[in-house]
Chain A
Amino acid sequence: MREWLFTINGICGFGLAFKLDGFRLLYSAIATLMWVCSMIFSVEYMAHYKNKLRYYAFSAVTYFATVGVFLSSDLYTTFVFFEIMSLASYVWVIQDERKESLRAGDTYLAIAVIGGLVMLMGIFMIYVQTGTTDLTALSFDGSRMQFIAGTLMLFGFAAKAGGFPLHIWLPKAHPVAPAPASALLSGILTKAGVFGILLLSCYLFWGNEKWGTLILTIGVITMFLGALLALFSVDLKRTLACSSVSQIGFILTGTGVYDLLKEHNALAAGGVLMHMVNHSMIKLLLFMAAGVVYMNLHELDLNQIRGFGRKKPLLKIQFLMGALGIGGIPLFNGYVSKTLIHESIVEYRELLEEGVLMPFLYGKGLITLIEWIFIISGGITIAYMTKLFVVLFVEKNSDEERQKRFDEKKHYMSVASAVVLSIPALFMILAGMFPHFIPESFIRLSTGFLRSQALENFRYFSLTNLTGGFYSIAIGAVLYLFVVRKCLMKDGEYVNRWPKYLDLEEYVYRPLLLIVLPAVLGFLCRILDRFVDTATPVLIHCGVFVCRLADRFIDSIVVGLRKTVFKEEKLPQERIEGSPATHLIGSWMDHAIHVMNDTVWEYKPKKENAEHRLAMIHTKISENNAIIVRSLSFALSLAGIGLILILLFMLI
């Protein structure tokens, strides 16, 4: 099919690039169909909810973003719309704002944000290394950096797709979201994640065995674990959510085999594509059916809703279609895609036996094991779908009055809802009955994107292919009869036997993110703060100490100097006034005065002490002399005199 490219340059930093090819067209169309169906269903489902406007507004944003993801042509555009999709769909999860919804919302948001950031890191590494984010222009150069980048992106996409061990948001978020939103979350938002993984697997890592093995491993674990969780679950929507995890596991298994098969990938590619489409449709139907139950009963516990569907033939048929479809019963759509994936595993094993392909990590034996895990997972799927079907439509409620009320309820969904439930139901049977017609045309449409050959003359209903399906059915029947009826029921009630401590979120992620990480960082920060807080006073004290020392040092120099060089002279004892000369003259003068007093100044004697006066004059003169001698002017005048004398000397 022709491709159309469309780019908007210069916005959002790098410009956005879109592409329309067969696969993208197909998935945009499926997204649109699913949105139309679930929004029509929402009219009835949401009739009594609060915040309807918010719900519809964010649904519209999510739709726009999801189609943006599917149409994006480079990783950057994918990332932009992926983030918008993740953040906008958060509002679905917390729509009713109950405590558990908010908690599930936290989980959802945390996974979305962490996944987004890790993915961004991967895109960033690819961009830095190659200068482009257009994956079609890239091929793996075998460097470790690119593989790490791919793994980081895989983390982000797998988180949204629900791959192990990041599947934890699905069982939490789906039961609390409104049913039409759950249908979209499970049917199409997870596919956006798968789309990202396909981008990596079909372009960057096309035919890379290491990558294929990685995806295959994740796929097998997810497939089996999800199915097991679903089997143990006693909540209608939780069962469906776990089933989504498991079905995503089937798709990832197919994707892994796709890469391992290299150019022989026609079967795997077809299987992956068809299982994506089928799972979208099936989950749309099943979640809306669960929505019908919830909107009538406001209960999801299997023991409470038991028997609701009795005497409601329309719902019964619709649900049955979904159950048969997902269970992979021949003549229904799930059988087609599961057979294709199963056959691709077989093909890989055969190619290994023939020596066309070299075993990478998984040899023939392990591939056979994977094949059996695949079949067993299919069996478990049948078992839990049987369980749901029997609970809803066969068994009677233990409370007879309740059952009576159930039976009396004739109007349980509007015509519009009934119609939109029938659309995917019809698809199940049509796609299952005419595998050469509908599924193969889808596959032909997508060969360009998936870089694979078209299927040729694949016989869906050959004996070998049917055998695989029958194995699953047999295992499912055994499991239902011996595990579900015997082990998972007690006194006619369904009980949750899944051990509590096997909860990754409660016992690993949440403590790690909410306790360990903040504690470690907080501890480090506190140490740093403490350090600063203690260092500052210590620094100040040191400074003061040094200053004081310095002070003392200067002081001691001063003291030292004063004690040595500048030692002050001791204050002299009071000297006898004057000098010997003044004494002599003074005493003479005193004698003279004495004589004069006796004679001339008889009537007017003088009372002065001449000796003392002379001594005072002497002191004054000597003080003045000292001042003069020390003064600069004296020095200058002496210098002047000296100069004059020199001048005179030179002149004379």
Chain B
Amino acid sequence: MAKYLPLLIILLPIFGSVLIRLVRFKSRKAMCIYTEALVIINSILVLLTILLDHDVILEVVHFTGDLSISFAMDDLSVVFSGLVAFLWPLATLYSFEYMKKEEHENTFFMFFVMTYGVTLGIATAEDYITMYCFYELLTIVTVPLVMHTLTREAILASRKYLYYSLGGAAFAFISLIFIIHYGDTNRFILGGTLNLDLVGDRTNVLLLIYVLAFFGFGVKAALCPFNSWLPSASVAPTPVTALLHAVAVVKAGAFAVIRMTYYSFGADFLRGTWAQYVVMSATIVTIVYGCSRALKETHFKRRLAYSTISNLSYILFGCALMTPAGMTGAITHLVFHALMKITAFFCAGAVMYQTDRHYVYELDGLGKKMPWTFSVFTVASLALMGVPGFAGFISKWNLASAAVESKNPLAYVGIAALLVSALLTAIYMLSVVIRAFFPGKDFDERKVAECKDPNLLMLIPLGIFAVTVLLFGICSSPFTEFFAKVAAGM
């Protein structure tokens, strides 16, 4: 039985979620309980899988040669699936309250839970082809979520999202073919599977393919210049923006890049080549780009979306360093940023839900009326800035020290970019906090008289996230040590 757990955790949400739409629940509450139970059970199963089933390969479909759909829970999968399993139940809990005001809830929750399974599929995919399949599937199941409100804006955004994602995946597909052709196998093995005898003098072709695939997967990770789908997609309901566009989808992109770089092409093959310089420059440009746009943006959620763009490129930057330390930094930021950003987004969602305010300049004085929400938001802001004692500091420090260790001249530019970005982050996040808490003396209190903190369904996830962010900041060593072990392949 334990052998089939990796398959079960993928299929259970995918098929279990269909029932949400098919079964006529007696009440909304019953639907909510069913959904939450499904998600929690699946999370427990993920935990079990992590504990029991380590590095056992489960081959589900065998095509030919070594092409197969197969799953395994290796170290990197543990990180990503553990993260997803932790966040999904809380996000679902939050969505129950948030989605109260929206229509077609059942459809929403069906796709929401289905995405869980598909994301786990990406996390536990054992070879390139499986990951690619689930990667495409992820795009398809998330489009209805972006389109949920069915406004013209949402439809346009989802169309954009579809084009970008599928287009990117097409480039990634090319690399799949090349890996199958020039590699010993398309399985994921730390250090890469390219067969240098087969490659021969076609190194430059493969590097070109790598760059194409990096940008291809980078589309989901919102790498500049393929980022414009992400801010547009923030028309989706906040749980979607928070969970999918700060965690699942974009992190799937980053995760795929890590897989491809370290497990398929191999860091040794890429290090020091022109391909590394190209992709690293792109990430550095994106880091500064995202922050600068966030600074100029006045829409609350879009500001956070731009901040996500910048932070995702931190991960890609770590990945582009092509060293174990760089990978450690990338994984650390992958996990920590997920926590910080989902916290920030959920706060934004709580504000929008309670007060229907969408722009930063409308937030004056809300801090006094919604103290819990904005306290949590302050924690998230400080963490995103990288103040020591919070999670963000650890990952940024890891990234920066990896950059120095790599002795790559371009990496120093990257550190400068991190510094500039930290400064800009401070400005665009703290300006929200300051507005909310210190509106100024002549502020008219009546404007916010109606506003208050959301109910517990929303506050509990917020509180848990805030505590986790602090906890990760204060005792981060077990995590970072584990991540370092993952990167070292131990």
Contact = CB atoms under 8 A, between A and B. Distances in A.
Nearest to A523: B292
B404 interface: yes
B292 A518 contact: yes
Nearest to A103: B440
B426 interface: yes
Given A97-B439, A121-B419, A518 B394 contact: no
Interface in B390-419: 393-394, 397, 400-401, 404-405, 415, 419
B289 A528 contact: yes
B225 interface: yes
Contacts of B426: 113, 117
B107 interface: no
B440 A531 contact: no
Interface string A109-151: 1000110011001001101100000000000000000000000
B430 A109 contact: yes
B295 A521 contact: yes
A12 B474 contact: yes
Contacts of B293: 525
A11 B422 contact: no
A102 interface: yes
A13 B472 CA distance: 9
A259 B243 CA distance: 55
A302 B285 CA distance: 52
A113 B423 CA distance: 7
Chain B contact residues, majority secondary structure: helix
Nearest to A106: B434
Contact of B473 (A12, A98, A109, A124): A12
A13 B480 CA distance: 9
A80 interface: yes
A109 B474 CA distance: 24
B397 A105 contact: no
A480 interface: no
A36 interface: no
Contacts of A371: none
A415 interface: no
A585 to B, nearest CB: 69
B152 interface: no
Interface in A354-403: none
A84 interface: yes
A531 B285 CA distance: 14
Contacts of A532: 225, 228
Interface string A1-35: 00000000011110000000000000000000000
Contact of A124 (B224, B292, B397, B477): B397
B394 A13 contact: yes
A532 B475 CA distance: 42
Contacts of A87: 382, 387
Nearest to B368: A51
Nearest to B439: A97
A524 B293 CA distance: 10
Contacts of A165: none
A94 B435 CA distance: 12
B419 A117 contact: yes
Interface residues of B, number: 42
Nearest to B476: A13
Nearest to A114: B423
A134 to B, nearest CB: 17
A518 B296 contact: yes
B484 to A, nearest CB: 13
A529 B289 CA distance: 10
A114 B476 CA distance: 25
A83 B387 contact: yes
B292 A98 contact: no
Interface string B326-338: 0000000000000
Contacts of A605: none
A97 B295 contact: no
B423 A518 contact: no
A11 B440 CA distance: 37
Q: Could you say which of B285, B292, B385, B388 has the most chain A C-beta atoms within 10 Å of its C-beta?
A: B388
B292 A117 contact: no
B440 A98 contact: yes
Nearest to A99: B440
Contacts of A76: 388
A13 B434 CA distance: 28
Interface string B285-301: 10011001101100000
B446 interface: no
B191 interface: no
A12 B390 CA distance: 8
Contacts of B388: 12-13, 76, 79-80, 83
Q: Could you say which of B228, B397, B442, B480 has the most chain A C-beta atoms within 10 Å of its C-beta?
A: B397
A88 to B, nearest CB: 11
B383 to A, nearest CB: 13
B400 A124 contact: yes
Nearest to A102: B440
B158 to A, nearest CB: 18
A10 B424 CA distance: 30
A323 B419 CA distance: 43
Contacts of B104: none
A114 B426 CA distance: 9
Contact of A11 (B285, B415, B474): B474
B441 A13 contact: no
Contacts of B393: 12-13
Nearest to A10: B477
Interface in A533-552: 535
A115 to B, nearest CB: 11
B25 interface: no
B438 interface: yes
A550 to B, nearest CB: 19
Given A124-B397, A525-B289, A105 B438 contact: yes
A505 interface: no
A124 B401 contact: yes
Given A102-B438, A121-B419, A10 B404 contact: no
B454 interface: no
B389 interface: yes
Contacts of A125: 404
A298 to B, nearest CB: 14
Contact of B475 (A10, A96, A106, A113): A10
A531 to B, nearest CB: 7
A522 interface: yes
Contact of A522 (B292, B423, B473): B292
A150 B131 CA distance: 48
B147 to A, nearest CB: 21
A528 B389 contact: no
Interface in A444-483: none
Contacts of A117: 419, 422-423, 426
B382 to A, nearest CB: 8
B404 A128 contact: yes
A97 B289 contact: no
B292 A13 contact: no
A11 B441 contact: no
15 contacts: A83-B387, A94-B438, A98-B441, A105-B438, A109-B430, A113-B426, A114-B423, A117-B422, A121-B415, A125-B404, A521-B288, A521-B424, A525-B289, A525-B292, A528-B225
Interface of A: 10-13, 76, 79-80, 83-84, 87, 94, 96-99, 102, 105-106, 109, 113-114, 117-118, 121, 124-125, 127-128, 518, 521-522, 524-525, 528-529, 531-532, 535
Interface of B: 224-225, 228, 285, 288-289, 292-293, 295-296, 382, 385, 387-389, 393-394, 397, 400-401, 404-405, 415, 419, 422-424, 426, 430, 434, 438-443, 473-477, 480
- The 4 A-B pairs with the shortest beta carbon distances in the complex, nearest first, are A521-B292, A532-B225, A80-B388, A128-B404
Given A12-B393, A76-B388, A87-B387, 17 more contacts: A10-B475, A11-B474, A13-B388, A83-B388, A83-B389, A84-B389, A96-B441, A97-B439, A117-B422, A117-B426, A121-B419, A124-B397, A124-B401, A528-B289, A531-B225, A532-B228, A535-B225
